[in-house]
Amino acid sequence: MSASSRENSTAFPPEYLYERNDPQKLKDASIAFIVLPTIVFTLFVISRAFCANRNTWETWVLYPVAFIATLSNSILCLVIALTGGSGRRTAYLLLFAKDTLSLYQKLRTAVEFLYVLGAALPKVALLFLYIRMFPDRKIQILSWITLAVVILHFLTTGVIVSFTICQPFSYKWDQTGEGKCGDVLLVYKFYGIPNIITDVAILLIPLPILLRLRMGKIEKIGIILTFLTGSLGLITAIIRLVEFYATDLSDRTFNGTNTLTWTAVEPGAYFISSCFPGLRALIGTIHKKLRPETTHRDPAKFRMHETYDSDIPVRLSNGTSVAAT
């Protein structure tokens, strides 16, 4: 940090410098979203490896990479809470713990990239699922457009802007030399808006065709609810965006605990939501093993259970086929 920043820090009274914003909520959220995605991903792998009739490339490429990004993001958020100076006044760190402040900035830089990667990959996986499952032309077009927006948003805001907003790049955490940064906080705020728009699109795209599925009400509700779990990511994205606009981040280490908490939560919510459709094979297998055998079964419902997560298409009310995954 610059010498002037250090000199300005000495002007603050001791009660201000030693004030703490307890990062316990950040610790709890980070631990929760280390554990929960790990459990869900384990079930997802079991479902796809042992219960599904077929798998596609995103099962063994996108989902593992998304899991690693999500897990790493939560782990780094936990490290920030434990050793990275989160909850301390920036002025205090400038005076007494410059190395800790530098560590905080480095960890935040890593979290920024992992966050955008962890938020983008589950969306990409879900959109490829839509493209594969729904042959309807409108849904195909909307899915491809949304997929393009997600990827471009990740590449521009998440990668290009993140790596070029400070010149040199190391000026993000080491401002002792020559350099400059753009408005980093504005980028954080802007990123959330297209993020939420694509969340809404992903939530709405499959609804018309899901409502037309020809099956029992219970099965239809179950499948619709499976896809609606994507709203978990939408809810967390909205909360995070509101936190960024409502929080004074001029003292980033002290006031940034809440925003960092939702930065840990949001990719985990996206990842968990994206895994739920892939758990249908496991749920269907458990259901078959647990349901009592009866001599009188509704043939239509029986066929639905048998085609659940199979290569056999599910019919819509207008006769159109939807490929189950």
> Whole-angstrom Cα distance, residue 298 to residue 293?
12
279-290 residue pLDDT tens: 989 988 998 888
pLDDT for 307:
35
Question: Residue 18 has what DSSP assignment?
Answer: T
> Whole-angstrom Cα distance, residue 260 to residue 30?
10
Question: Strand, helix or coil at 135?
Answer: coil
CA contacts within 13 A on the Cβ side of 161 = 18
- Give yes or no for a contact between 271 and 40, defined as CB atoms under 8 angstroms apart: yes
Residue with tokens 């935040």: 108
87-110 residue pLDDT tens: 999 999 989 999 999 999 999 999
Q: Residue 213's beta-bridge partner residues?
A: 316
Question: Strand, helix or coil at 249?
Answer: coil
The whole domain housing 51 covers 3-289+297-322
**Which residues have a Cβ under 8 Å from the Cβ of 112 and sit 6 or more positions away?**
162
Structure tokens at 107: 């960890």
Of the pLDDT bands very low, low, confident and very high (cuts 50, 70, 90), residue 316 is low
With residue 322 as reference, give the H or E element that holds it: strand 321-322
Structure tokens at 8: 């300005």
* Count of structural domains within the chain: 1
CATH number of residue 199's parent domain: 1.20.1070
